[in-house]
Amino acid sequence: MSFAGLISIANYSDGVLYALALLLVIALAVVVDRAWYLRRTILGGARLVGAAAAHKRLHRADLARLASSARNLPEASLIEVGLNAEGPLTRESFDHLLTETILLTAPQLDTRLWVLDTVVTLAPLLGLFGTILGMFRAFSVLAAPGNAPAAVTGGVANALITTAAGIFVAMLGLLAYNGLNNAVRVVLHQMDALSAVLLNRVVFAEQPARETLPAMAAE
């Protein structure tokens, strides 16, 4: 099909195909951006978890080396918890701080994925809307004198292209959305794994012993 033919079909849908093309460009931009970020994060996180698990015990100097290798990874915030802790750090308080850090970092991982979710929902509806507009134009041919009913067939075919385009955009967006969501789950699993590694290997201060009640005097 020639470029002029595509422009004709797009105009037949009253511009809905142009809107679908814009949705496709936006979805592809989000996919490229998040796929590159999440892939780099997964590879770097796997190396960081392996490096931390290789230590039997993690002291402050070990945490500093891990923090320098973490760079801009989300797991770096977990290591910073141990480095920035003030005063004696108990295992229980460290566990709470790690859990809080994961909860605060998690929303940053699925940034802009809502755009793909919106595209998946909106594209088929927009395609159907364009088809309805095309149907109105196709059947209006019958009202004009001198036009053969066969002309309606070509108009209906052009109108259905909009629905097909909307479904195509939605399928691509759905595949990308599920793949990126799975990558986010992998990153969260790596953060949970690093949290467990740190919790089991960081040297903690001993909790003060509880005072015992004095023994009651024998009557």
Tell me whether residue 209 is in a domain. no
Please write the tens of the pLDDT for every residue from 119-175.
999 999 999 988 888 777 776 666 666 555 555 666 677 778 888 999 999 999 999
The band of 7, judged by pLDDT with boundaries at 50, 70 and 90, is low
So what's the pLDDT on residue 118? 95
Tell me whether residue 125 is in a domain. yes
So what's the pLDDT on residue 174? 96
Tell me whether residue 214 is in a domain. no
- Residue 176 above 90 pLDDT? yes
Please write the tens of the pLDDT for every residue from 17-60.
888 999 999 999 999 999 999 999 999 999 999 999 998 888 88
- Residue 216 above 60 pLDDT? no
* Host domain of residue 69: 3-201
Mean pLDDT of 87-94: 75
**DSSP characters for the chain?**
--HHHHHHHHHHTTTHHHHHHHHHHHHHHHHHHHHHHHHHHHHHHHHHHHHHHT-SSB-HHHHHHHHHHHTT-TTHHHHHHHHH--S---HHHHHHHHHHHHHHHHHHHTTTHHHHHHHHHHHHHHHHHHHHHHHHHHHGGGGSTT--THHHHHHHHHHHHHHHHHHHHHHHHHHHHHHHHHHHHHHHHHHHHHHHHHHHHBPPPPPPPPPPPPPPPP-
Tell me whether residue 206 is in a domain. no
- Number of folded domains that form the chain: 1
Tell me whether residue 96 is in a domain. yes
Tell me whether residue 217 is in a domain. no
Please write the tens of the pLDDT for every residue from 52-85.
999 888 888 888 899 888 888 999 999 988 787 7
